Amino acid sequence: MPEMLYDSRKIYYEVYGEGEPLIILNGIMMSHLSWKLFIPQLSKDKKVILFDFLDQGKSDKPYDYDYTHDLQVEVLKALIDHLNIKKTNIFGISYGGEIALQFAIKHKNYVNKLLLFNTTAYTTPWLKDIGRGWINAAKTYDPETFYNVSIPYIYSPKFYTENYEWMENRKNILKGVFTKDFLDAMVRLIQSSEDYDIRCKLNEVEVDTLIVGADYDFVTPLFEQEYIHNNIRDSKFMVIKNCGHASMYEKPNEFVSQINGFLSFEKKLTTL
Residues that bind its own copies (CB under 8 A): 37-38, 40-41, 44, 124-127, 129-130, 132-133, 136-137, 140, 142, 144-145, 148-153, 155, 157-158, 160-161, 163-164, 166-167, 210, 216, 218, 221, 223, 226, 229, 236-242, 248-254, 256-262, 264-265, 267-272
| Least distance between its own copies and beta carbon 174 (Å) | 12
* Distance (Å, whole) CA 125 – CA 179: 28
CB-wise, 7 or 129, nearer to its own copies?
Answer: 129
**Residue 241: CB minimum distance to its own copies, A:** 5
Half-sphere exposure of 223 (CA within 13 A, CB side): 1
Nearer to its own copies, 72 or 258 (CB): 258
Minimum CB–partner distance for residue 84 and its own copies (Å): 27
Helices 69-82 + 95-106 axis angle, to 10: 70
d(CA 239, CA 252): 14
Q: Which is nearer to its own copies, 74 or 142 (CB)?
A: 142
Which H or E run includes 225?
helix 222-231
Rounded to whole angstroms, the Cα distance separating 252 from 260 reads 12
Which C-beta is closer to its own copies: that of 78 or that of 207? 207
- Residues near 34 by beta carbon (within 8 Å), at least 6 away in sequence: 26, 27, 248
